[in-house]
Amino acid sequence: MIRKKLGFTLIELLIAIAIFAVLSALGWKVFDHIAHVKDRNMVREKMLIDLQTAYQVILKDSLQIIPIAANINNQMQPSLILENNRLVFNKAGVVDPLQQGKSPFERIEYLYNENEKSVLRLKYQNLNHAGNDIPESSVFLRNVDEFRVEVLNPDALVVWPMSQNVEAQDQIVGELPKGIKFDITQNGVKYEWIFSLLNTEYLKTLKNTNSTLITSENRSSSNQNLTNR
């Protein structure tokens, strides 16, 4: 009786190797795809964190904007300026827990660096300075393709204040727009952020009241002078 030898033929081995090679290639592609998806998700997650951080920074700043002017190099500057897509404003909210004599107010500037595609936040420690102070600079948003700022009053404006001929005594406490709108494009995705500002409508009433009181006092003085004569 002839016994059959147990084992695989050469053809069977070649087929098994071919199947293993195909499965390995498919498995590597799946693994590579999963790795790319993971990396892409990590990048997107970091972008979302940066966006959330920037949003919170602007939100906090907008809530602390005050209608008090700054004295820069002995020249009164409005509490909020928007010009050439450059936003400058004064804010409160500075804490000094160590009693170091810090001013409770700051002057903040948002500036878009088109070359580096980033948004800078410049911070001046005091509202009153000689104009040559070096601010603290920080990048709080990167990979920004477009950055546009408008004030809402209620119409969208690219310049504020609307009137440049404002007397110095009127700039000490000035009016603020209704809100600020930011149009940001990052990695091809557009975002629109709108923030409301402190309502300063009462300042108009206060100014009108003061003007009326001054006018009434002047009239009373004039009448009294005429009576005395």
Answer yes or no: is 46 within a domain: no
| HSE value, Cβ hemisphere, 13 Å, CA-based, for 70 | 28
Answer yes or no: is 167 within a domain: yes
Average pLDDT of 210-217?
44
Query: What is the pTM (predicted TM-score) of this model?
Result: 0.72
Cα–Cα distance measured from residue 97 to residue 92, given in angstroms and rounded to the nearest whole number: 15
Average pLDDT of 16-44?
74
Residue-level length of the chain: 229
Answer yes or no: is 227 within a domain: no
pLDDT in tens, 66-92: 998 888 888 888 999 999 999 999 999
Answer yes or no: is 146 within a domain: yes
- Would you list the DSSP string of 168-213? HHHHSB----SEEEEEEEETTEEEEEEEE----HHHHHHHHHHHHH
- Number of structural domains (the chain) is 1
Answer yes or no: is 18 within a domain: no
Cα four-point dihedral sign 108, 114, 119, 121? negative
Three-state secondary-structure class, residue 119 = strand
- Would you list the DSSP string of 49-116? HHHHHHHHHHHHHHHHB-SB-EEETTEEE-SEEEETTEEEEEE-----TT-----S-EEEEEEEETTT
pLDDT in tens, 103-119: 889 999 999 999 999 99
Label residue 94 by pLDDT band (50, 70, 90).
confident
Answer yes or no: is 222 within a domain: no
Output the domain CATH number for residue 170. Answer: 3.10.610.10
Answer yes or no: is 92 within a domain: yes
Answer yes or no: is 218 within a domain: no
User: What residue numbers bound the domain in which 162 lies?
Assistant: 54-208
